[in-house]
Amino acid sequence: MLSYATLFASGLICIALALNAWRLIVGPTTPDRIIAVDTMYINSIALIILLGLYQGTTSYYESALLIALLGFVSTAAFCKYLLRGDIIE
Amino acid sequence: MHYFWVPFLPMLGIIIPLLTNKFNRSTCALATALLPALALGLILFDLPAVLDGQAFTQSIEWIPLLGLNLSFRLDGLSVLFSLLILGIGLLVILYARYYLSEKDHMGRFYCYLIMFMTAMLGIVMSNNMLQLWFYWELTSISSFLLISFWSHSSDARKGARMALTITGAGGLALLAGIVLLGEVVGSYQLNVVLNSAELVQQHPYYLAILSLFLLGAFTKSAQFPFHFWLPHAMAAPTPVSAYLHSATMVKAGIFLLARFYPVLAGTEVWFVVVSLTGLFTLLLGAYTALFKHDLKGLLAYSTISHLGLIVLLLGLNTELAAIAAVFHIINHAIFKASLFMAAGIIDHESGSRDMRKLNGLWKYMPITATLAMVASASMAGVPLLNGFLSKEMFFTETLDQSILGSLSWLIPVLATIGGAFAVAYSLRFIHDVFFNGEPKGLTKTPHEPPRYMRVPVEILVALCLVVGIFPAYTVGPLLDSASLAVLNHPLPEFSLAIWHGFNIPLLMSGLAIAGGLAIYLNRKPLFRFEGLFPAIDAKIKFEGAIQACVRWAQKVNQTLESGSLQRYAFWLCFFALALIAPPLLDLDTTRGSQAEYPLNGAVAIAAVLLVAGSLATVIWSHYRLIALLMLSLVGLVVSITFAYFSAPDLALTQLSVEIVTVILLLLALYFFPQHTPTSKSRPSHFVRDLAVASLIGCIIGSICFALMTSPLDSISEFFIANAKTGGGGTNVVNVILVDFRGFDTFGEITVLGIAALGIYKLIARMRLSMRTKDHDGRLWATDKYPVLLSVISQSLLPLFLLISAYIFMRGHNLPGGGFIAGLITSIALIQQYLAHGVDWMTKRVSVSYHYFIAIGLVTAAITGLGSWAFGQPFLTSWFDYFSLPWIGKFELTSALVFDLGVYLTVIGATLLILANLGKLTTKERLTVGVR
């Protein structure tokens, strides 16, 4: 049962990723694109965790953890760039 | 044998003049002479054995892996040259003591002089060709330093540059020749090479080897058409001219011809090229010498002419001619060095070298005049002097050749004409300087030099006489052994005597003397005739040629390096294509036997996203920020792919590098235009680039497909089998990094540190002002550090550090390690920079990031060196298992300490670059136009 649920969930997440990518490519504004990338980070976390659940392994856990942490930094940096131009003042 | 020390004694002596310079001048000269004198003593000690016809070689291993040995030989030829170098060298040291003025830096002069002496001894005593070449180059360099000793004079500098360029270029040719010869023979040792004449002369490379060797020898020995540097080298102090440019250095080229005579000589090409070059140089030098008003200029051209004579003799391919050449090497060194010294004395004591001003010096310096007259009579080839003997041998040999076929009778005639000019310029030297009226317009009254300044000249002139009168008893044995070394087989019979009866050579000598007299008596019309030719200044021509060379090089450089990234990328891809594609054509099928990975929906979507992201990056590449966002998508998909296909280490690394790259690019992007200007490239270029790019894509794709579908035996099996047992870790990737390939990692973090320091140095103290508005004309937000960001970032910091510690500690057994942990820590700190600014961070992080790099590298190095203490090779890792109550069993490994070094270096390098890029901007923004 769990495997069906994870497969189904991964399918949905993949669709979500594709839609994010669509938003990223068509824009139209830069903030749209930044948010698209950020959402893709979050969806990737979900996808990786689901993969771990499906295969019954913990070895993907660190990748998900890192995406969670670092994705934030990347998004923050892009935003700071839009706001101030110079990200480290 | 003690001769092994001979080249090393002067080498030690290079430093002595600099140390003794502060004492008085005589002490300095004496101290300088000490070691060369000792070396001369050693040579004399070994002399009897060499005169018996023995040759010695001695080697010590230097770099055995490359087959390089330090190897010296002592045979007749090297003894002869060593005696000239050390003997005349000692006389020059004495002479220079009086020649140099108070203003000249005596220590420096002697230092260069001894350096030259070392180099020369090295050339003549080397038994290894590469070693010989090394010393050969050293003579060019020390000669450059000596010619430009009076560096305030423009002539000296130009002359020095010219000499270095010509002899240096010849040296390069010689190196190529030596390498070719060494490869043909299979050894660089002279004793092997000298006995391989047949092998070399029948080899197809013989012509190339010969031309390269001749280029080296002719440039060094000032043979036509490379002769022009020698007269310009006369800007050097006269002791240098006497030593380098008459007695020793210019003889290095001749030494080379003589040394390799057994291997290279004896063929038709050698015969024609060497003898004709020598003959032409002989005539040109003798003719030009007559018209030079400068004393040293006359002597310089006379030197060129005599060098030509020796080269001609070596080119004649007969045994007796080679012996005559060796004999003339000795004689010329003796009389020409003494003449240069005499010219120096005249210059020193009368203030001029111009023969139009110098007249009638006989009255003022009778002793010097007598000495100079004897020496120039020897140069002219007057009987009872040494010059006569070798010149007579020369005339004899010119009669016995057939270079020009039926026109060969021209050679002795031309030789006699050359001899006549030699007599004429020798006469001019004697008559113009010492007689011919009174001196005109001299700044000081000429007088005899200090007593000891004349001693070297007296010794040399005495040698001229002794050798000239008793040749067989004085130089006979030395000549025998040196000729034996040149010919490499037993000598033919020859007689060293003044009188051989009435014969043709004697007639030629007589004709030369009579002709010389006639030429000198008719010099006025000759001078007028010579004046009709436009004066050619070799310096201007040479500079012109050099400039043209530079211009050409720049043109070529600009064509290749035009600054167009498009062009660079094109050539890079083009050559990659040209090298990668052909082997693929030979492959029958791309499809290997390995089964394909099953495709599922997630992988398909990831692939589509990857392609879309890449295409979007290209399409949006002119909008740089958007392109960067697209690139983030690519990076993310790649990371997930790594994770999915069981490469968690790669996934972690890719993720952290991805973020650091984004920050770096954002930092840099701020200073650049936000949009790339639209391309103006021609449609044809567009098509070309598209084609090349697509082809590259197709080929790389095919290679990947072929690789992934073929069963492959790779080295990874070994790593997997040995990681746990040999490196004590189950994470193979990490064990490879810190253990199997630990030395590579050590090199890489060193490079990382150097790169970071380089970038720091480049941008240090650079300040760029900030723009007031963004690209679209909006004003910047006023909130520098949004509270939300600050609070979240600060509270995330401990979490970041915890994760980085976790990743670091588990690295040896599970995905992670020092590199990834270092990047995570760096990103955590960068995040604080982002949220709080540089000032806030500077207050809290008091340690400079340079120290991180230094401590990291030292830690890694010490860990590596630590294994030496246990008698193991560098970076052998150690591990063991321990157990403690509460904690249980755990592992300690030296690789962890090494990884700590990696960790620290990565933090230091990343932050040194990023934080300093962040500091580039001024604190305040320009406020112009802001309300």
**pLDDT over 60 at A38, yes or no:** yes
A66 to B663: CB separation less than 8 angstroms, yes or no: no
Residue B730 Cα to chain centre, angstroms: 49
Residues of B in contact with A89 (CB under 8 A): 784-785, 837-838, 918, 921
Residues of A in contact with B616 (CB under 8 A): 24-25
**pLDDT over 60 at B930, yes or no:** no
- Residue B180 structure tokens: 């070719």
How far apart are alpha carbons B596 and B598 in whole angstroms? 6
Torsions phi, psi for B811 (to 5 deg)? -50, -35
Cβ of residue A9 closer than 8 Å to a chain B Cβ: no
- Buried b / exposed e across B357-390, counting CB within 10 Å, b at 16+? bbbbbbebbeebbebbbbbbbbbbbbbebbbbbb
B834 to A86: CB separation less than 8 angstroms, yes or no: no
Contact B276, B241 (CB under 8 A): no
Segment holding A4, helix H or strand E: helix A2-26
Which residues are CB-neighbours of B919 under 8 A, at least 6 positions away? Answer: A88, B838
pLDDT class of B924 with cuts at 50, 70, 90:
low
How far apart are alpha carbons B265 and B325 in whole angstroms? 14
Cβ of residue A62 closer than 8 Å to a chain B Cβ: yes
Cβ of residue A49 closer than 8 Å to a chain B Cβ: no
Q: What is the pTM of this model?
A: 0.68
**pLDDT over 90 at B285, yes or no:** yes
Residues of A in contact with B667 (CB under 8 A): 87-88
A73 to B663: CB separation less than 8 angstroms, yes or no: yes
A88 to B643: CB separation less than 8 angstroms, yes or no: no
Which one of A8, A32, A66 would you mutate to disrupt binding with B, by most B Cβ within 10 Å of its Cβ? A66
Q: Which of B13, B72, B75, B87 is closest to B46 using CA atoms?
A: B75
Q: Which of B197, B203, B205 is closest to B179 using CA atoms?
A: B205
Find tokens 């508005």 and name the residue. Answer: B773
Helix (H/G/I), strand (E/B), else coil: A88 = coil
**pLDDT over 50 at B931, yes or no:** no
A88 to B838: CB separation less than 8 angstroms, yes or no: yes
Torsions phi, psi for B675 (to 5 deg)? -120, 140
Mean predicted lDDT score pLDDT of chain B? 88
**pLDDT over 60 at B390, yes or no:** yes
Interface A-B: count of C-beta contacts within 8 A: 154
pLDDT class of B925 with cuts at 50, 70, 90:
low
Q: Which of B360, B290, B275 is closest to B322 using CA atoms?
A: B275
Segment holding B845, helix H or strand E: none
Segment holding B537, helix H or strand E: none
pLDDT in tens, B175-203: 999 999 999 998 888 888 988 888 999 99
pLDDT class of B710 with cuts at 50, 70, 90:
confident
CA distance A66 to chain B (A): 7
pLDDT at B400: 81
CA distance A16 to chain B (A): 11
How far apart are alpha carbons B115 and B142 in whole angstroms? 7
Helix (H/G/I), strand (E/B), else coil: B188 = coil
- Residue B606 structure tokens: 């990831």
pLDDT in tens, B683-704: 888 888 889 888 998 888 888 8
**pLDDT over 70 at B1, yes or no:** no
Provide the 8-state DSSP code for B381: T
Q: Which residue has the higher pLDDT, A48 or B679?
A: A48
pLDDT at B922: 67
Residues of A in contact with B658 (CB under 8 A): 70, 74
Which residues are CB-neighbours of B615 under 8 A, at least 6 positions away? Answer: none
CATH class of A2-84: mainly alpha
Largest CA distance in chain B: 116
Contact B92, B100 (CB under 8 A): no
Give me the mean pLDDT over the B642-664 stretch: 89
Find tokens 């993907």 and name the residue. Answer: A60
- Buried b / exposed e across B283-315, counting CB within 10 Å, b at 16+? bbbbbbbbbbebbbbbbbbbbbbbbbbbbbbbb
pLDDT at B278: 93
Helix (H/G/I), strand (E/B), else coil: B470 = coil
| β-strand pairing of B68-74 with B879-884 | unpaired
HSE-up of residue B485 (Cα within 13 Å, Cβ side):
33
Contact B611, B597 (CB under 8 A): no
Give me the mean pLDDT over the B856-878 stretch: 84
Find tokens 């004579």 and name the residue. Answer: B309
- Closest-CA residue of chain B to A65: B803
Facing A17 at nearest CB: one of B609, B800, B835: B609
Residues of A in contact with B824 (CB under 8 A): 66, 69-70
Residues of B in contact with A10 (CB under 8 A): 601-602
Which one of A48, A58, A70, A83 would you mutate to disrupt binding with B, by most B Cβ within 10 Å of its Cβ? A70
- Residue B674 structure tokens: 């936000």
How far apart are alpha carbons B914 and B829 in whole angstroms? 10
pLDDT at B558: 87
CA distances from B830 to B554, B780, B845, B901 (A): 44, 22, 12, 20
Whether the bond between B225 and the residue before it is cis, its omega within 30 degrees of 0, is yes
Which residues are CB-neighbours of B616 under 8 A, at least 6 positions away? Answer: A24, A25, B630, B633
**pLDDT over 50 at B489, yes or no:** yes
Q: Considering only B249-253, B313-317, B340-344, B923-927, which range has the smallest mean pLDDT? A: B923-927
Helix (H/G/I), strand (E/B), else coil: B710 = coil
Contact B290, B428 (CB under 8 A): yes
Torsions phi, psi for B879 (to 5 deg)? -150, 155
Contact B213, B174 (CB under 8 A): yes
Residues of A in contact with B603 (CB under 8 A): none
Find tokens 């990857």 and name the residue. Answer: B610
Residues forming beta bridges with residue B70, ordered by sequence position: B60
Which residues are CB-neighbours of B499 under 8 A, at least 6 positions away? Answer: none
Helix (H/G/I), strand (E/B), else coil: B773 = strand
> Following CA atoms B734, B740, B742, B747 in sequence, which dihedral angle do they give, to the nearest 10 degrees?
-110
Q: Which of B652, B635, B612, B589 is closest to B820 using CA atoms?
A: B652
Torsions phi, psi for B126 (to 5 deg)? -65, 140
The domains of chain A are located at 2-84
Residues of B in contact with A25 (CB under 8 A): 612, 616, 630
B640 to A47: CB separation less than 8 angstroms, yes or no: yes
- Closest-CA residue of chain B to A45: B640
Which residues are CB-neighbours of B588 under 8 A, at least 6 positions away? Answer: none
Facing A73 at nearest CB: one of B612, B785, B831: B831
pLDDT in tens, B889-918: 777 788 888 889 999 999 999 999 988 888
CA distances from B365 to B250, B359, B360, B374, B779 (A): 30, 12, 10, 14, 92
pLDDT in tens, B712-746: 777 888 888 888 877 778 888 888 888 888 889 99
How far apart are alpha carbons B818 and B812 in whole angstroms? 9
**pLDDT over 60 at B52, yes or no:** yes
Q: Count of residues for chain A?
A: 89
Residues of B in contact with A41 (CB under 8 A): 636
Q: Looking at this protein, which amino acid is placed at residue B759?
A: I
- Buried b / exposed e across B446-462, counting CB within 10 Å, b at 16+? beebeeebbbbbbbbbe
- Residue B305 structure tokens: 């002419």
Largest CA distance in chain A: 53
A89 to B831: CB separation less than 8 angstroms, yes or no: no
Q: Considering only B397-411, B587-601, B815-829, B841-855, which range has the smallest mean pLDDT? A: B587-601
Contact B414, B279 (CB under 8 A): yes
Q: Which of B723, B857, B836 is closest to B786 using CA atoms?
A: B836
- Closest-CA residue of chain A to B641: A48
HSE-up of residue B4 (Cα within 13 Å, Cβ side):
9
Q: Which of B720, B715, B892 is closest to B812 using CA atoms?
A: B892
- Closest-CA residue of chain A to B627: A25
The domains of chain B are located at 265-491+501-521, 565-676+685-710, 730-776+784-931
Residues forming beta bridges with residue B881, ordered by sequence position: B891
ipTM of the complex: 0.95
Which one of A70, A83, A88 would you mutate to disrupt binding with B, by most B Cβ within 10 Å of its Cβ? A88
Facing A74 at nearest CB: one of B648, B662, B780: B662
How far apart are alpha carbons B738 and B897 in whole angstroms? 10
Contact A81, B666 (CB under 8 A): yes
pLDDT in tens, B762-810: 888 888 877 777 777 788 888 888 899 999 999 999 999 999 999 998 8
How far apart are alpha carbons B297 and B300 in whole angstroms? 5
What one-character-per-residue DSSP string does B878-918 give? -EEEEEETTTEEEEEEHHHHHHHHHHHHHHHHHHHHHHHHH
How far apart are alpha carbons B55 and B191 in whole angstroms? 10
Helix (H/G/I), strand (E/B), else coil: B556 = helix
B824 to A66: CB separation less than 8 angstroms, yes or no: yes
Which one of A19, A40, A42, A74 would you mutate to disrupt binding with B, by most B Cβ within 10 Å of its Cβ? A74
A72 to B796: CB separation less than 8 angstroms, yes or no: yes
In chain B, the percentage of residues whose pLDDT exceeds 70 is: 99
How far apart are alpha carbons A39 and B791 in whole angstroms? 22
- Closest-CA residue of chain A to B820: A66
**pLDDT over 70 at B929, yes or no:** no
**pLDDT over 60 at B529, yes or no:** yes
HSE-up of residue B134 (Cα within 13 Å, Cβ side):
13
pLDDT class of B679 with cuts at 50, 70, 90:
low
How far apart are alpha carbons B5 and B730 in whole angstroms? 58
Summary count for chain A: helices (H), strands (E): 3, 0
